[in-house]
Structure 1
């Protein structure tokens, strides 16, 4: 099966897939292995598209690493999970690197069992091993390797610990030895369905359990790619088997996996006392509290105003505009142009009152760029600190009124940086109705970084009250439009489930790397528009 359009994967180079739950550090590891930057955030769902990079140290020539979206299961409930499932289904890869959060090992083991059922050779990476140790969670690596039959490598990706070992063993993909035997009725159904299935890059047993779990997207995919696929016969086996169970078979299968996961966990994990940061834990809880979360949010907004609105839009802009451009760049360019091409029309075009340099470049680089840069730094701190997911929890009730879940905070906040990027992330919302409403709100009420830079620059020169008026006006507009849209647009809203990362102290290196690439995007995408504007 080769449906490259659905996954964005093309080419014949051998591939390795980076796979795991959301927010386990896949993107950090991807960057360390490939030397390629992707948007690394402490928030589920920020890998907004399939990223690929070459492994420069691979001994097998041009080996491609694919960073897949975060998942909770290979039986998809969202677009991200469907894409990841299709990546495994569309092409036979050399292997999979499964990244697991060491402190949430059980969650990762559910995917491990599904990879084992699929017959996919893989390496398991136990990331954030240090945070697990802080919580008194001691994972016996050797015992886990013995149980699973694959190589297990502990890492702390943000500190590059364990990455050299991963690079050294990047091709040590082993077929897992762990297996699970389901209820006899389900096993019989698996055998019957397997006889009706075509050969693909994953095992027929895995496909059978997906079909028994009512994976509608898989049925559609098999029908599209295999003319001989007999849906009626498969459907009859599923219906006949379901009659033996009161609960849906997806639930029965998951419960049996749950038993195996608990057994593995109990064999290889020891829970000690651990040393937790009580302050960070309490701060994380308070930031989600319906009462105390509000003053924390107001403090965050106030600090953003001081950092971005006053320092960025005030001190930094004044320095860039008056000193860098006013005293040096603009006068030097004017002298250079008058010396080389002493023609009035050329002088006016470049350094006149509305010139490319004196207006277009000066406005973009000396006024908007400092504000945007400081905003990106601040936004990176919010991402990596773990505050954004907590803001999601706190704002869930408000978003429910607009037909959305708290997850909509992510595209809304990302929209302050780039509306295009934010629109791509609406796919993390589970229903079509939610995605339409979120896209509508982004288009109508969320200013992008360039617009935000202008707003903060203007308001920073007036007062804090002026900024609050703008913020309140935008919020009221969003709430009204969202509420009306939720009444007009048909469909259902999804349930709200959110994996909360711990409150962390952000890594400065990661903040500056992200800021660099986002500023680079601004310079490439936005600055030309300012220059073009000088001709209008």
Structure 2
């Protein structure tokens, strides 16, 4: 069974499988869009959380792969890239010209597979900007495949790539590696799979019941020597690396300058997303457009069709209705936040700043069992936990994804909730702000450290590309923002609709009231709060800011307010996040994370209550 069977890609008879391959951040998405136009589909690769994009180029099928530094089975991204590349008919290898010494390792690995290939030497403008003289013709001769210089974001070279895609050639494989590969071709049938046997790929070895001869390190050494030899022959003039952009990139990595720069960036994001979008924009989209116009319109239609006081009316148009709460939540509240966050993330990604943030915080996050990439879902979590939970897919190992997901659901308040919390805690003074902040931070650090100790396995090291600092292109930023926002809405809407339906059923069967009564002893006895606070916790499951806002109607002292805010922050995430949690993690993992959040919220809240009340 090849990759296309696994992800149900329809390959017409006689069609070629054109596979895009390259390191992270080399611009493959631009080539994919140029080849496929609007004929794009996205499928989840079975057994992983990695999405694979595919579309049509004429009669052929184009398949994108995750950005990887080599073809192997070290993580989900490499495993998916391997499964797609092994069975491709034509490989379009996109190479970052400025980082050619790094990217050629993957190029030579694909050549050793015996795959017809064409190389798009991208970002040639960076080569010129840095004063480097690169001989493209010589590179093509040494590789034995067509090499086309491009500046993809400006459209340069794209037409030439499209014209030459079927002129792909089998390149000059390393003769020493080829000798090792020949020993296994008759056992596995494909040169590409035989290379994976030599390189000790555990999946291929298991599939064919073969044992390793320990040749991987030798193969890697030979390939690296070949890369060094090629680079020495094609680079005529080295750049000095003294440009303003180069220096700015170095400042971003230095903790002395990088941390203040990161703090300023996060502050700007918070003011725009957490204050302007979450407050002003959502006030219009959710409060006015959806609340004052859309929902009354839907209720009027539902009333005429279903009656005012029927079960069907409440299911479709009631307080938690499928056609009222679901669209209001997804389009009125989440969509503006999602768009704003992906807009900022696209800017940071295209400018080259995002990977530098990951490198800057890598050492700190390693103590919590994650590498620097985890800063991305953590930042996103302050906008929307649901969206952030989905982005934990970019982490390399299962244990990292579990740790990040648990920390998101437990300690990170989303922007909607954060606005209500800020409004409640601001009048209490600096003392209570410090108690709240220190408690949440302590839980974050202790939970991450504990999970890092008890979870089996080892977290992945940070291997991340540091592309040149460049000015983001608005068209590319907008395209990424729209694509990712639309994918999020498509993925999250059905799950939230299911959650709304569950809440409606609980409400109709008086189960919500029973739950409120059940938690009152904990609320009053352990947390020393009014029994009505139980209602706020229940509402927090529906929507986190509903829970926080529910505290505003209660008569509580400053100490009780802080305890309530700590519990509502640590309490289980909203129903949409819970649905995504069960989708992204296994049922067992999701239940442990959900119950862990529930128990931790009450235990920590109770401990603080007995200390300050």
TM-score normalised per structure 2: 0.68
2:167 maps to what in 1?
172
> What is the Cα-based RMSD across aligned positions, in Å?
3.8
Question: Are the counterparts in 2 of residues 212 and 250 from structure 1 also a CA contact under 8 Å?
Answer: yes
Number of residues of Structure 1 aligned to a counterpart in Structure 2: 484
2:83 maps to what in 1?
86
Q: Structure 1 residues 7 and 152 mapped into 2: Cα distance closer, same or farther (>3 Å)?
A: farther
2:68 maps to what in 1?
71
Q: Structure 1 residues 379 and 493 mapped into 2: Cα distance closer, same or farther (>3 Å)?
A: closer
Aligned counterpart for 1:287 among listed residues 252, 255, 268: 252
Q: Structure 1 residues 341 and 221 mapped into 2: Cα distance closer, same or farther (>3 Å)?
A: closer
2:222 maps to what in 1?
256
Q: Structure 1 residues 111 and 329 mapped into 2: Cα distance closer, same or farther (>3 Å)?
A: closer
2:387 maps to what in 1?
418
- Shift of residue 111, structure 1, vs aligned partner: 2.0
- Shift of residue 64, structure 1, vs aligned partner: 1.1
Q: Structure 1 residues 352 and 109 mapped into 2: Cα distance closer, same or farther (>3 Å)?
A: closer
Provide the rounded CA distance (Å) in 2 between the counterparts of 1:163 and 1:468.
55
Match of 2:26, SS state, is coil
Question: Are the counterparts in 1 of residues 18 and 90 from structure 2 also a CA contact under 8 Å?
Answer: yes
Question: Are the counterparts in 1 of residues 389 and 405 from structure 2 also a CA contact under 8 Å?
Answer: no
Matched, 1:115 2:110: yes
Question: Are the counterparts in 1 of residues 193 and 204 from structure 2 also a CA contact under 8 Å?
Answer: no
Match of 2:25, SS state, is coil
- Shift of residue 437, structure 1, vs aligned partner: 3.2
Match of 1:292, SS state, is helix
- Shift of residue 369, structure 1, vs aligned partner: 3.5
Matched, 1:199 2:198: no
Question: Are the counterparts in 2 of residues 133 and 274 from structure 1 also a CA contact under 8 Å?
Answer: no
Q: Structure 1 residues 75 and 523 mapped into 2: Cα distance closer, same or farther (>3 Å)?
A: closer
- Shift of residue 420, structure 1, vs aligned partner: 5.0
Match of 1:171, SS state, is helix
Provide the rounded CA distance (Å) in 1 between the counterparts of 2:376 and 2:224.
30
- Shift of residue 122, structure 1, vs aligned partner: 0.5
User: Which 5+ residue runs of structure 2 have no aligned equivalent?
Assistant: 43-47, 508-613
Provide the rounded CA distance (Å) in 1 between the counterparts of 2:306 and 2:67.
59
- Shift of residue 508, structure 1, vs aligned partner: 2.0
Q: Mean alpha-carbon deviation: is it higher for 453-462 or for 68-77? A: 453-462
- Shift of residue 389, structure 1, vs aligned partner: 1.4
- Shift of residue 269, structure 1, vs aligned partner: 2.6
1:226 maps to what in 2?
none
| Equivalent residues in 2 for 1:324-363, closer than 5 Å | 324-325=289-290, 329=294, 344-345=308-309, 361-362=327-328
Q: Which structure shows the higher helix fraction?
A: 2
2:273 maps to what in 1?
308
Match of 1:492, SS state, is coil
1:243 maps to what in 2?
none
Question: Are the counterparts in 2 of residues 102 and 132 from structure 1 also a CA contact under 8 Å?
Answer: yes
Q: Structure 1 residues 348 and 159 mapped into 2: Cα distance closer, same or farther (>3 Å)?
A: same
User: Which 5+ residue runs of structure 1 have no aligned equivalent?
Assistant: 40-45, 224-228, 240-248
| Equivalent residues in 2 for 1:143-292, closer than 5 Å | 143-176=138-171, 178-182=172-176, 193-194=183-184, 197-200=187-190, 202=192, 204=194, 207=195, 210-223=196-209, 231=211, 238=213, 249-271=215-237, 273=239, 277-278=243-244, 280-292=245-257
Question: Are the counterparts in 1 of residues 41 and 54 from structure 2 also a CA contact under 8 Å?
Answer: no
Question: Are the counterparts in 2 of residues 460 and 467 from structure 1 also a CA contact under 8 Å?
Answer: no
| Equivalent residues in 2 for 1:403-482, closer than 5 Å | 403-413=369-379, 416=385, 418-419=387-388, 421-426=390-395, 428-429=396-397, 433-446=399-412, 452-459=414-421, 474-482=440-448
Q: Structure 1 residues 458 and 467 mapped into 2: Cα distance closer, same or farther (>3 Å)?
A: farther
Match of 1:396, SS state, is helix
The higher-RCO structure (CA 8 Å, 6+ apart) is 1
Provide the rounded CA distance (Å) in 2 between the counterparts of 1:298 and 1:256.
44
Once the two structures are superposed, residues 394-445 of structure 1 have per-residue CA deviations (whole angstroms, 9 ceiling, x without a partner) of 212222212332233344445546255234333x24xx54454344434544
Question: Are the counterparts in 1 of residues 130 and 243 from structure 2 also a CA contact under 8 Å?
Answer: no
Provide the rounded CA distance (Å) in 2 between the counterparts of 1:357 and 1:219.
52
Provide the rounded CA distance (Å) in 2 between the counterparts of 1:413 and 1:358.
30
Question: Are the counterparts in 2 of residues 313 and 460 from structure 1 also a CA contact under 8 Å?
Answer: no
Question: Are the counterparts in 2 of residues 134 and 276 from structure 1 also a CA contact under 8 Å?
Answer: no
Question: Are the counterparts in 1 of residues 389 and 408 from structure 2 also a CA contact under 8 Å?
Answer: no
Match of 2:466, SS state, is coil
Q: Structure 1 residues 419 and 342 mapped into 2: Cα distance closer, same or farther (>3 Å)?
A: closer
- Shift of residue 67, structure 1, vs aligned partner: 0.9
